[in-house]
Amino acid sequence: MDTPQPREVSVVDGDDTSSIVSFEDIPPRSRPRYRHSPHMASMPRVCPKTEILKIDGKVPDVLHVVKYLGWQNNVIECRQSPVAFKHVPPYGFNGDINLVVDDDATGDEKPVLEIITKVLPRSRSPIPIHRRSRGPRDQEDRPITEAFENIDYRYDNLYPDEGQDPEVPGPEISRPFMIIHSDHLINALKAVVAYYPYVSFDGKPVKINAPYRVLYHHRQELARYKDNQPLAHDPDYAATTSKHIDVLLKFLDDNLGDEIRREEERHQLATPRATFDLFWLLLKPGDVFYAKRYDIWTPYVISSVTMGQGHNNSCDVYNINCWMLESNGTKVNRFMFSYNLSPWLGEQAIGSLSIIPAAFWPEDLEAQGGMTMKEKNIALGKLYWELLKRPTYMDYEGLLVNSGPSNRQCRGPTGFMCGRVICDAPGFDTFYNQGPDNMRGGRYHRIPVYNETAPPSKDHLPKDLPRCGCDACMANRPSYSTESPYHGFEDLDPTQDSPPDSDLFYLVCSKTMPGFLLGD
């Protein structure tokens, strides 16, 4: 079959809010000014619907669309092609382009994927960002170790949503979006995406922003699913699903395949390295990374990743929302945290970053007591759970955590100690404010109140494994267990409940235990 050539159809369209997607790396260009004229006044207010391009009577599997928007955000012209546009042609310019309009095109048929570019008349004037307040936290709950802090949280962050862009002064050409029209492909994604907060495949069509992180993160899962579909799929359904998965995988490879292969080669070096632009490949929700908390390298589970704004008004800052498990004094729950990762030039050793994916942790067996970092943290997590069951008197020789924002303000003794302690989380929660440091008030200065952005809202943790959403699969529910790896992670009373049989549970348990230091 011949490779399709760039062929376009140019149509005039009315208001259209259903299409959403655009291209990267397209140079902006100036737009002509428009003046009202008798001719324009005579134009109909309702324009015909866009006809879908067909090649040899068939809608292409991937349809690239450029939509030119008017001053009122209505679509005034639309161009379509079966291959990506190298350059966006100026509005109203046809030149030597072979325009193709299929008279039989009714618009009922849809491509598997639709990639749309929206071209604005010109750069818009700055529009203030309207932030949606998170409001108060879902529950008045906090990790027990937050007793060390004195923070006044501000609830002013945007919700992390890959499908929503903040309202900022727009460029002339918007950033890319993908629309997935195929039910078969949507159901396949439902079957392989186990945990990806704020990304939904329940609606139709499904909209995904560039750089399509959720799709790149699940390329291997989709490839395996293609050849291992549920038995409930009949041959025709399975064949169509397989074909549409191939369409998506080919698009992803054409889009960023070469860049990702070079990045993965950097990951395989003796000292693994990464570039900032593609570091998101290592930040898949559900994966574990290490970051410092109280000056201790602590494991967290990634919840979501967004691009935030840096101190120099740069938008190239990764904002990583994550969670860990800790006692609130009575029960073990998930608590959300957020870390920022600033950009760097060129390549950087992954092990030197402030955010280190667990798979790339630079092991130091001597410093880790002869264990890997994962083994060490699992062992500490099991000890943490045991200490939560009952007040425990013990001799302790080791470090006390440095508390306070950025470890600059410490409340209570810090550093190395050797002596007797009582580990008692409920008691600590009750009697902490009656300690001698608070009673005397002079030995340790009361730390000031810090204004900090509140932790992210707690995401939904799936209790079941993902499933295909087709009618046949929904009618044939499996008899075997479909519990997700996160089942039983929340609302646990250590004095009554049994922990889940999961290394991940212990891995991300807190490694900081509140206690009382006994005097001589």
SS3 track for 340-357:
EECCCCCEEEHHHCCCEE
Kindly tell me if the per-residue pLDDT of 251 is higher than 70. Answer: yes
Encode pLDDT of 291-313 as tens digits.
999 888 999 999 999 986 544 44
Which pLDDT belongs to residue 158? 46
CA 285 centroid distance within chain: 6
Q: How confident is the model at residue 128 (pLDDT cuts 50, 70, 90)?
A: very low
Q: Please, which residues bridge with residue 291 across strands?
A: 298
Q: How far apart are CA 195 and CA 202, in angstroms?
A: 14
Residue-wise pLDDT for 459-493, tens only, equals: 999 999 999 999 999 988 777 778 899 999 999 99
pLDDT class for 58, splitting at 50, 70, 90? confident
User: What does the mean pLDDT of the chain come to?
Assistant: 76
pLDDT tens-place string over residues 374-433: 999 999 999 999 988 887 777 777 767 765 444 444 455 666 777 777 777 776 666 666
Distances (CA, A) of 355 to 196, 280, 363, 395, 435: 19, 12, 15, 33, 35
Most confidently predicted of 28-32, 144-148, 237-241, 307-311? 237-241
pLDDT at residue 107 in the model? 54
The single residue listed with the structure tokens 């529009």 is: 127
Helix (H) or strand (E) holding 299: strand 296-308
What is the percent of the chain with per-residue pLDDT over 90, rounded to a whole number?
Answer: 42
Q: Kindly state the tokens that stand for 246.
A: 């191939």
pLDDT of res. 286? 96
